Amino acid sequence: MRILIAGVALLAAVNAAASVPHPFGIHDLVMLDRVSDPQISPDGKRVAYQVRETDYENNKGKNGIWAIELGNPKAQALRLTDVAANATAPRWSADGSAIYYQDKGQIWRLPAGGKGAALQATNLALDINAYKFSADGRQVLLSLDIDPQCGKENDPIACTKKRDDDKGKSKASGRVYDKLFVRHWDTWADGHRSQLFVAMVGTDGKIGAPKLLTRDIDGDVPSKPFGGDDEFAFSVDGKSVYFSVRIAGNSEPWSTNFDIYSAPADASAAPKNLTAANLAWDTAPVPSADGKTLYYLAMKRPTFEADRFAIMAMDLASGATREIDPQWDRSAGGLKLSADGKTLFATADDNGEHPLFAVDIASGKATKLAGQGSVHDYSVRSNEIVFARTTLKTPADLFRVATSGSKVTELTNQNSTKMAFVDTGAFEPFTFKGANGDSVQGYVVKPVGFDKSKKYPVAFLIHGGPQGAFGNDWSYRWNPQTYAGQGFAVVMVNFHGSTGYGQAFTDAISGDWGGGPLEDLQKGWAAALEKYTFLDGSRACALGASYGGYMVYWIAGKWNQPWKCLVDHDGVFDNRMMGYSTEELWFSEWENKGTPWDAPANYEKFNPVNYVKDWRVPMLVIHSEKDFRIPLGQGLAAFTALQRRGIPSELLTFPDENHWVLKPQNSVLWHDTVNAWIKKWTAPNGSK
């Protein structure tokens, strides 16, 4: 057994790498600043945003709030919050005189000019999950986790705190459950629910005592584990609140039936379900300025989490709905409304990119405003949009574009100094005929220091989801530049099931995990080898996570001839057991067209565990102990199979990580272990 430690030595390596020209590597990746959540000021003259820096020694990220002037090409970004704060989620006061943010579980208020101390605006007994102000700034919605048994109390916050404290005094650690979820993503259920409260904001900027708005709602607002403040909103006049929630009951783990509710902002009446007729996912409410229409996103097929999100409009007087964009074969996200009320803005995967679109409400026509790369968070104010964008060569920075779609202008260059010392690999998309004769897209990234006269070993990356895609985007977990910097060429194929190529293409993978997608990967590999003569097909390793990890296990038994080695991260090894042990059951049941007991043949049809007898390729297995989406037993079983069969193999596991590896030093250890493994087996005279 080898116990690997990332610590002082790695910190020294990080610091040394920062100032010497070199190929891009993992030490560079973990130390980059991460720009997100831009918010344009009410007067349109500034934008506040969040920056995550890396505290490598303490093995965590540290967030701060920054701001930059708009309209001044020489403007310099300034940090507003103290370096000791871990400040997130900047939001302007209605008059633009202050910026609110979250830190230590509470909301703080900082003078907009950055001069003067931050004042604590809330002092609640429980931590705040998310918040949103009304348009006039006089009210604020707060999400807090409370004990449902406290929901009818006059002060559910104090009641929850007391019950939690009382439980903490007990020396017994056992928990009794009578329904699922018992655990979700990386957390065991404690019986609490994220509930929405409303509070008044005083003239001094302090936030008053909250009132429970979602009383008797058995669900989480926002949704867990990744929901945010886009799942709730005030009406423009501040009299109503709209929120999306899935009523839990006993069906939560196999239901995707989120509905949008309305409630009076003064909490004087119970919430009302507005979308009960649709048994699939309704979310992201955006009220119109005149209060007559509610825009939102909706899926059509219950229990399918990767269905297309259509943009809907509801007449609030009659309840009548219409789909705004029925001809646009893309799944919308990040919905926002223009100042004149005629356009909705949205992002969507689109042919290997993730652009920002303007969707005309009257016609449903979608027009690209910013097409290159991947647009993430964005803010709309008057006739201007500020957004965060990444590419395969660049981490996130802020850009601006007029709502009419004029020239895109860069606002920040947050990582200019750090990126000035690194070289990255050039990339390009390619297409080929895949399964069913369909056109399939992939990407190739050239190694750093590329020489067209040479051949290079290959890292063949397989994406997860499976309803996801590799694209012109920057990742902090599966970034092809970390392999390009190690001297590898990188090939990535967006097989059937990938997003951004139409809903029918996305749907094709369900019930066919090891069929058409494998054919796409095989044909994509052949097409890449034919087109790019610098690829050394005799020195290649395949790597994947989640569904990509499933595919690594699958090809270990069904397509192992090309590969010198394999790397599996948190993959599905036994599909039947996955159907019993994962927490979000709707996923496994949709993908296999039934439960394991009603449709056992479907679970066995493409089950990697049935082909272990054909495994032969050396494999590195990585699986984390807090991964409840694909539990640890899957990786342990695969490693056991490898060891028992005498196949060269290693196991890397993290006791403190979930489905993703997030801590900086763990990320370095992950990459160093993976890089050592693939170099070992692809070396010209390496291991056999």
Contacts of residue 634, Cβ cutoff 8 Å, sequence gap at least 6: 570, 571, 572, 573, 574, 577, 578, 581, 623
Average pLDDT taken over every residue of the chain: 95
Burial of 97-115, coded b for 16+ CB within 10 Å and e otherwise, reads ebbbbbbeebbbbbbbeee
SS3 assignment, position 115: coil
CA pair distance 15, 79, nearest whole angstrom: 22
**Which residues partner with 673 through β-bridges?**
none
Nearest CA to 633 out of 568, 577, 557 is that of 577
Please indicate whether residue 463 is annotated as part of the active site. Answer: no
Q: Which of 27, 184, 376, 659 is catalytic?
A: 659
CB-count burial class (<10 Å; 0-12, 13-18, 19+) for 58: exposed
46-55/60-69 β-pairing: antiparallel
> Cα 602 vs. chain centroid, distance in angstroms?
29
The mean per-residue pLDDT over the stretch 125-147 comes to 98
- Give the pLDDT confidence score for residue 481 in this predicted structure: 98
The stretches of 135-238 forming alpha helices (DSSP H) are 156-168
Nearest of 274, 323, 272, 265 to residue 299 by alpha carbon: 323
Contact 628, 186 (CB under 8 A): yes
CA distance 673 to 118: 43
Amino acid at 419: M
Start-end of H helices in 421-574:
480-484, 503-507, 516-531, 547-558
Residues 6+ apart with CB under 8 A from 159: 146, 147, 149, 150, 153
Sign of CA dihedral 494, 495, 498, 503: positive
* Residue 335 · residue 348 · CB < 8 Å: no
Looking from the CA of 565 toward its CB, the CA atoms found within 13 Å total 24
What is the rounded average pLDDT of the residues 523-545? 98
- Using the predicted structure, report yes or no on whether residue 68 has a pLDDT greater than 50: yes
Q: Residue 116: its pLDDT value, please?
A: 85
Q: Hey, CA dihedral for 552, 557, 562, 563, is it positive or negative?
A: positive
In 203-280, alpha helices (H):
none
67 forms beta bridges with 48, 78
CATH number of 339-412: 2.40.10
* Residue 408 pLDDT greater than 60, yes or no: yes
- The pLDDT score that the predictor gives to residue 44 is 96
Our CA dihedral for 370, 374, 378, 380, rounded to 10 degrees, sits at 10
- Contacts of residue 538, Cβ cutoff 8 Å, sequence gap at least 6: 564
Which residue is catalytic, options 498, 546, 588, 667?
Answer: 546
Structure tokens, 15: 């610091």
- Determine the residue type at 611: Y
Q: What is the pLDDT of residues 441-484, one digit of tens each?
A: 999 999 999 999 999 999 999 999 999 999 999 999 999 999 99
Whether the predicted pLDDT of 686 surpasses 80: no
**Whole-number pLDDT of residue 8:** 41
CATH of domain 422-682: 3.40.50.1820
Answer whether residue 632 shows pLDDT above 60: yes
Provide the pLDDT for residue 20.
81
Looking at residue 201, the DSSP 8-state letter turns out to be: B
Catalytic entry in 103, 230, 627, 671: 627
Q: Is 681 within 8 Å of 541 (Cβ atoms)?
A: yes
* Coil, strand or helix at 163: helix
Based on the number of CB atoms within 10 Å of its own CB, is 613 exposed (0-12), middle (13-18) or buried (19 or more)? exposed
Tokens 């005309």 belong to 360
* pLDDT mean over 93-117: 94
pLDDT category of residue 19 using cuts at 50, 70 and 90 = low
pLDDT in tens, 199-257: 999 999 999 999 999 999 999 999 999 999 999 999 999 999 999 999 998 999 999 99
For residue 466, whether the previous peptide bond is cis, meaning omega lies within 30 degrees of 0, is yes
Work out the number of other CB atoms within 10 angstroms of the CB of residue 7.
13
For residue 225, whether the previous peptide bond is cis, meaning omega lies within 30 degrees of 0, is yes
CB 151 within 8 A of CB 158: no
Whether 190 sits among the annotated catalytic residues: the reply is no
CA distance 9 to 28: 15
User: Is a pLDDT exceeding 80 seen at residue 4?
Assistant: no
Structure confidence at residue 289 as a pLDDT band (50, 70, 90)? very high
The sign of the dihedral angle between the CA atoms of 77, 78, 84, 89 is negative
CA distance 112 to 7: 38
* pLDDT value, residue 3: 44
570 is catalytic: no
